[in-house]
Structures are given as structure tokens and as C-alpha cells.
Amino acid sequence: MPDAVEIQEKHVRLIRKDAERHRDTEACGILIGFFDKNTAKVKEVVPAENILNSPIEFEIAPEVLYEIWNIADKKNMDVVGVYHSHVGAPAVPSARDEKFMKDSGFVWLIISKSGMNAYAWGDGVRKVRIKIV
Ligand SMILES: [Zn+2]
């Protein structure tokens, strides 16, 4: 299970902008990079459409996910995480988030007005350290 995520400041800005642009619906996207021991190192951020168009949940179309996996694969990278925004809630996983986190094995970055947190599943929801580089 990843216990840290390393992300560049420009990528944090991109995620924040994506969240601000959506405002009333959850923004979401994929984090591509590689795992270095237990650290997920983010090299690219790929915003994706929230097909639920909802303020309380998100979903990325399976074909879009597949496409992003392929892009990562071609670059010899992995999908190391997913990000999404919380519109009116703090940056902690919802019950639905937890359910999907359980099977993912990667980092969940959640951004809200009050800040950004990262989580991963390891025998329950665990907070992951964010290292901005
Ligand atoms: Zn959520």
C-alpha cells in the first residue's frame, strides 16, 4: 500500500483549477507515474469527465479509464492514483469513495475548499503523506 504521494506543484495547481472550474460538480482525473517503494510519484495528471455530473459523487467512463491506462502503459508508467474534488464536504473519503478505494491499490487524492488530502486502503482507510516537489 502506498504511504506517500509525491506531486509537483504545477500538478497541484492543475487539480485545483479543475476543481474550481467545476464548482458545482465533482472534478476528477487520473494520476500517472510510478511507484518507488511505497511512494506514488506523479508525473502526469489527466483530467477526466465526471459522467455522473454530480456534486456528491464521481465516475470516470470505463473506456476513458482504459485509454488512460494505455497512455500510461505506452510511457512505461502506471496509474498511481485518482483525484477528485468535494464540493461542499471536507477532503475526507465518502462511504462510496471507501468502497472503490478498497479494490484500487492506488492513491486517492481529494481536494476541497479547505485543503487537499491523500488516502489509500490498507486494512482500512489510511492517510497518505503528500510531498509537493
Ligand atoms: Zn469523494
* Span 107-124, pLDDT tens digits: 999 999 989 999 999 989
Distance of CA 31 from the midpoint of ligand 1 (Å) = 16
Count CB neighbours of 73 within 10 A: 12
Q: What rounded mean pLDDT belongs to the chain?
A: 96
Number of domains in the chain: 1
Joined grid coordinates for residue 125: 482507510
DSSP character at residue 36: E
DSSP character at residue 109: E
Residue ranges making up the domain that contains 8: 4-132
Residue percentage of the chain with pLDDT more than 70 = 100
- Residue keyed to cell 479543475: 18
Residue type, 113: K
Distance of CA 90 from the midpoint of ligand 1 (Å) = 9
Distance of CA 104 from the midpoint of ligand 1 (Å) = 14
Q: How far apart are CA 49 and CA 68, in angstroms?
A: 12
Q: How far apart are CA 126 and CA 49, in angstroms?
A: 26
Joined grid coordinates for residue 75: 510511457
Q: Which helix (H) or strand (E) holds 16?
A: helix 9-22
Distance of CA 94 from the midpoint of ligand 1 (Å) = 5
Tell whether the model's pLDDT for residue 23 goes beyond 90.
no
The per-residue pLDDT for 93 is: 97
Active-site amino acid positions: 26
pTM for the full predicted model: 0.96
The CATH number covering residue 53 comes to 3.40.140.10
Q: What is the mean pLDDT of residues 89-118?
A: 94
Q: How far apart are CA 29 and CA 18, in angstroms?
A: 9
Q: What is the mean pLDDT of residues 42-62?
A: 97
Q: What is the mean pLDDT of residues 45-66?
A: 97
Distances in Å between the alpha carbon of 26 and those of 56, 99, 101? 7, 17, 17
